[in-house]
Amino acid sequence: MSLLARVVDEQRDDVSIAAIDGEVDVSNAAEISQRLRALLTNRSTGLVVDLSATTYLDSAGINLLFELSAELAHRQQTLQLVLPADSPIVRTFRIAGVVEAIPTHATVEAALAQRD
């Protein structure tokens, strides 16, 4: 994994959770994308990407999330994001329209509860 970011994952029932700690940019977006996709199986119902510890995310990272969301929707799976209100990337997500396009929650527990 890139020195800029670390992905820590866990499984809860049929949902994969991936926490991204650090920066996502053009230099590591493809690697992170592969890592996130590798967490999904045919039995997965969705993916929660926890961006609580993400300090920077450029257009390559935003593009990754839009593409992943579309891909999962095609597979009848869901993508949900965790983005606390005090996150340094909130403003970028609002400008780019991410919060309107992909379900976004303040905590992992809130994202999981939304699935029930």
Give domain limits for the chain: 5-115
d(CA 28, CA 110): 28
pLDDT at 91: 93
Query: To 5 degrees, how large is the angle CA 54–CA 68–CA 107?
Result: 40
pLDDT at 51: 98
Residue 17 contacts residue 50 (beta carbons within 8 Å): yes
0.85 exceeded by pTM = yes
Give the model confidence (pLDDT) of 15-28 as tens digits.
Answer: 999 999 999 999 99
Candidates 3.40.50.920, 3.40.1190.10, 3.40.1710.10, 3.30.750.24; CATH matching 5-115:
3.30.750.24
Residue ranges in the chain whose pLDDT is less than 70: 1-2, 115-116
